Amino acid sequence: MSFERVAAHTIEQLGGEALALAADKALSDEDRADRFRAMLARELDIPTLARFAVARGWRRAEPADRDAYVDAFSDYILARYGTVLDGARDVERFAIVGAHRISDGDAIVTTRLTLVDRRQLVIAWRMCDAGGEAKILDIVVEGMSAAQTLRQEFAAVLRANDGPHGGADRRAARTGRLIGLAETLSCHGSAIRPPACYRSRIGIDTVD
């Protein structure tokens, strides 16, 4: 089976599972949110997304600091985008409309969501081959990339954690920036929700 077909099958299963969870009235909101986060943890390529989000900051950090950052990033991204999947309760129909390969082990799966108010939403899923499994690398909602949005936001945090440095202190300062980002995510990750502009595109409440 071609990788794009594997990727499409993965997203089709994810959509069906999300809709079933959203419709399960026996679940409490807390249990539903926990299961949505578990789905994300299973389907997202979190290590690759974590590296992409900090760009050059990754290459400049020590291995132990990278590990601390990825752990914090994982908690952050699951809390943040678990809210996005929670919007599945407003989806009436989820359909795969196309899948194409970009390169070996890299594909785009396009889906169309029909909401309960009859609006339609197109979402593209960037999929990558992670050890023989198709994992989600990016979610593009009506042209808005979640990965690029993260990268822009994290760049601002890294700049805020960067102070004057030079000479022998330069390496320590660069490492400190990534540690500072990990600490920021650890402290605030559970309270952070997708930006209002992103949430409005997927049809969930935009009132903070």
pLDDT, tens digit (0-9, with 9 covering 90-100), for 3-21: 999 999 999 999 999 889 8
Residues 6 or more apart whose Cβ sits within 8 Å of residue 105? 3, 128, 129
The CATH number that applies at residue 183 is 3.10.450.710
* % of the chain beyond a pLDDT of 70: 73
Say if 188 falls within a structural domain. Answer: yes
Q: What is the pTM of this model?
A: 0.76
Both ends of the chain: CA-CA distance in Å? Answer: 44
Cβ–Cβ < 8 Å for 105, 128: yes
Highest mean pLDDT out of 1-15, 42-56, 87-101, 142-156: 1-15
Say if 80 falls within a structural domain. Answer: yes
**Counted domains in the chain:** 1
**Which pLDDT score, from 0 to 100, does residue 5 have?**
94
**Averaged pLDDT of the chain:** 77
Q: How many helices (H) and strands (E) does the chain have?
A: 8, 5
**Which pLDDT score, from 0 to 100, does residue 44 have?**
94
Q: Which helix (DSSP H) or strand (DSSP E) does residue 104 occupy? A: none
Mean pLDDT is lowest, of 28-42, 97-111, 194-208, for: 194-208
Say if 206 falls within a structural domain. Answer: no
Please write the tens of the pLDDT for every residue from 107-148: 999 999 998 888 888 999 999 998 889 999 999 988 889 889
Say if 207 falls within a structural domain. Answer: no
Cβ–Cβ < 8 Å for 159, 55: no
Give the pLDDT band of residue 80 (cuts 50, 70, 90): confident
Tell me the sheet residues that pair with 113. Answer: 94, 121
Residues 6 or more apart whose Cβ sits within 8 Å of residue 65? 175, 178, 179, 182
Cβ–Cβ < 8 Å for 141, 201: yes
Say if 23 falls within a structural domain. Answer: yes
